[in-house]
Each structure stands twice: as structure tokens, then as C-alpha cells.
């Protein structure tokens, strides 16, 4: 197994949000969590995380900076963030990705840090659609990073992992050619890089909230039957500062068994005690859940055994003293 990739993260959290009427987009919530915090949660193991944009509270520590000049656009913002990073690989994200996952992040990092010389056609090699870098451009022979590609085939340069040296080289070249980075589009950078395209297998990791309709769609999606419990547990963990992994299905099974075999209020109380034991005693949730489930089943079986003879014989029930 390969060692985890050392990387820094830059989150671009500025912009005018004109299609949202100038609203502070990264602070808007989806699932009762700000969009910015949802993005930060997808890259928890970054060595350094830089947020470029106005100051906003976040659930984890970040470095905050602004582009020069303020409102200077994505290249100026990227340059400002890059000045605070030291890792050889830099994850670059926009701040409005409600469904970005750690799995997508790790996939991008893995694709961006392939073994030198391993890249071939379709893996960051030169060719149509893979950047304009040539043999004399100074780019490494194995590519400059990896970029997510959405379900429609569109490139997502703000959901990407880049080699830091490649970013610095291209930004310096653009500044030398134009005299500034302000106001220039992202394609001025991307066109000079050889990037592997990584398909968005989730079909949602690249979903961004540019309009009120997008925001409404994101809020509706997390309340769908197949998503709502995982989203709620994730939101609770974030709110309470809990890093413990939760097997939702196992806990729900335990709650069902406790409610059925003991009494309905036993379900929330039992799951609370599981969490308490795991959090305060450092014990394994799976092992605790299995033990509590076995206890609930024994409790139910004992009750059935006690009720059985009385029901079968029409008696007064276990523990009732026979008449003298």
C-alpha cells in the first residue's frame, strides 16, 4: 500500500456570486453546515489549508489570506494561496462543493502523484485536450496534476490536485507575459499544464452551487431517503466535534432490537450509552454495538421464556405464587 500523499489545500472562497445577488456564497448552508465547512471536511488530512477570501468562521483551523488586488479573480487568488503552502502537491478547490468527498480527494491526489514516467496516453501525456506543455516547457515528464471531469465531460480546474512546482512555474510565466494575474481566466493556467482527467464517479462531487436553484437542489438531495441519515450523522459529528466513525446501519439495528426486546425508550438511551462508552473510554463502536445487541436479544429471549409457560398453560404468569 502506498503511503498517503502529503499535500496542502487551497480553497478559493472569494468571488462576487453575482447569480446569487452578491450573497456570501461559502457561508450558505446545505444540511445546516456552511458550504465552506463541507469542502474543508473533504480534506481533513491536509498539512496546510489556506482559504482565500473574506474572513468567515470555520470548524477547523485554516490560514486566511486575500488575493492582490481584492477581487482580482481566480489566478490572483490561487497565487495568494500558493504563497502559504509548502507541500509538493496542492489540492485546489472552490468553496461551493456540497457533495465533495474524501474519496474523490484521495483519487485526485493519487492520480496527480503517479510514479515518474508512468503516465501514458490518457494519463496526463501530451495530446489533444491534455494541455499545451511541450518537451521544453520545464514540466515534469509525468504530468502536472489531475483534474476532475464531470459527468458531461467538462473539466473542473477548481476540483483538482496540482504539482506545486508546476503551478508556480505557470503562474510566473503568465505574470511575465501579461504583467498581472488579475482578471485572467483559469484557462490561461490550465492550458499550459498536462493534467490527467479523473471522471467524477459519484456524479455529484463536482456539483457546485452557483444559483439559488442549485442551492435548493443540493438541500433537497441531502433529505432524500438514501442520504438523509448519513448527512445528519455527519452534521452532528461536525457540530459536536466528534471524529468517531459511525456505522449507521449497525446502530439502527441495535435501536430496533432494543425497542422491540426491551421498550421503545431503550433505543435512544442504548445508542447514547454506546457513544458515551466509545468517546470516553476509547472503545470500538463495532464491538460495543455487537455486545449491546446480544444483550438486547438475551433480554428479549428471557422475556419470551418467562411469558411462554403462562401463555401455554393459561396460568397467571411467571413469578406469581400459586394459591394455597
Residue 277: per-residue pLDDT = 86
Residue 305: per-residue pLDDT = 76
Q: Hey, what's the cell of 151?
A: 459527468
Residue 318: per-residue pLDDT = 41
What CA–CA distance (Å, rounded) separates 218 from 204? Answer: 10
Mind listing the pLDDT tens digit for each residue in 67-120? 988 888 999 999 999 999 999 999 999 999 999 999 999 999 999 987 544 443
Residue 1: per-residue pLDDT = 47
Residue 282: per-residue pLDDT = 79
Residue 78: per-residue pLDDT = 96
Cβ neighbours for 64, distance < 8 A, ≥ 6 positions apart: 50, 51, 53, 55
pTM of the model: 0.75
Please state, for a pLDDT cut of 90, what percent of the chain lies above it.
47
What CA–CA distance (Å, rounded) separates 197 from 153? Answer: 9
The one-character DSSP state at 323 is P
Q: Are 19 and 60 in contact (CB under 8 A)?
A: no
Mean pLDDT, the chain, integer: 83
Q: Are strands 89-94 and 7-12 parallel, antiparallel or unpaired?
A: parallel
Residue 79: per-residue pLDDT = 95
What CA–CA distance (Å, rounded) separates 105 from 235? Answer: 20
What CA–CA distance (Å, rounded) separates 319 from 309? Answer: 11
Phi, psi of 161 (to 5 degrees): -120, 125
For 69, 125, 277, the CA distances from 317, given in Å and listed in that order, are: 83, 79, 36
Residue 315: per-residue pLDDT = 45
Residue 283: per-residue pLDDT = 82
For residue 228, how far is the Cα from the chain centroid? 16
Low-confidence residues in the chain, pLDDT < 70: 1-4, 16-17, 115-142, 244, 306-324
Q: What is the CA radius of gyration of the chain?
A: 27
Amino acid at each position: 500500500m502506498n503511503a498517503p500523499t502529503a499535500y496542502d489545500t487551497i480553497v478559493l472562497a472569494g468571488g462576487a456570486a453575482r447569480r446569487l445577488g452578491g450573497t456570501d456564497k461559502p457561508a450558505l448552508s446545505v444540511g445546516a453546515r456552511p458550504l465552506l465547512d463541507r469542502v474543508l471536511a473533504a480534506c481533513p488530512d491536509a498539512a496546510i489549508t489556506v482559504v482565500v477570501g473574506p474572513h468567515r468562521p470555520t470548524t477547523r483551523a485554516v490560514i486566511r489570506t486575500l488575493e492582490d488586488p481584492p477581487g482580482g479573480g481566480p489566478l490572483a487568488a490561487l497565487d495568494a494561496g500558493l504563497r502559504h503552502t509548502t507541500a509538493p502537491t496542492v489540492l485546489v478547490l472552490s468553496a461551493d462543493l456540497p457533495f465533495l468527498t474524501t474519496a474523490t480527494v484521495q483519487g485526485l491526489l493519487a492520480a496527480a502523484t503517479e510514479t515518474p514516467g508512468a503516465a501514458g496516453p490518457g494519463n496526463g501525456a501530451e495530446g489533444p485536450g491534455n494541455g499545451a506543455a511541450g518537451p521544453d516547457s520545464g514540466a515534469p515528464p509525468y504530468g502536472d496534476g489531475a483534474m476532475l471531469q464531470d459527468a458531461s465531460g467538462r473539466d473542473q480546474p477548481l476540483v483538482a490536485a496540482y504539482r506545486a512546482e508546476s503551478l508556480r512555474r505557470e503562474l510566473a510565466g503568465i505574470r511575465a507575459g501579461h504583467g498581472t494575474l488579475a482578471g485572467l481566466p483559469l484557462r490561461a493556467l490550465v492550458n499550459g499544464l498536462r493534467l490527467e482527467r479523473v471522471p467524477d464517479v459519484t456524479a455529484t462531487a463536482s456539483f457546485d452551487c452557483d444559483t439559488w436553484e442549485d442551492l435548493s437542489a443540493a438541500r433537497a438531495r441531502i433529505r432524500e431517503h438514501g442520504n438523509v441519515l448519513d448527512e445528519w450523522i455527519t452534521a452532528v459529528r461536525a457540530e459536536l466535534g466528534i471524529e468517531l466513525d459511525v456505522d449507521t446501519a449497525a446502530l439502527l439495528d441495535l435501536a430496533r432490537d432494543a425497542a422491540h426486546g426491551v421498550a421503545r425508550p431503550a433505543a435512544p438511551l442504548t445508542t447514547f450509552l454506546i457513544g458515551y462508552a466509545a468517546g470516553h473510554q476509547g472503545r470500538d463502536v463495532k464491538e460495543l454495538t455487537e455486545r449491546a445487541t446480544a444483550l438486547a436479544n438475551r433480554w428479549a429471549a428471557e422475556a419470551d421464556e418467562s411469558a411462554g409457560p403462562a401463555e401455554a398453560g393459561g396460568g397467571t404468569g411467571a413469578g406469581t405464587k400459586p394459591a394455597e
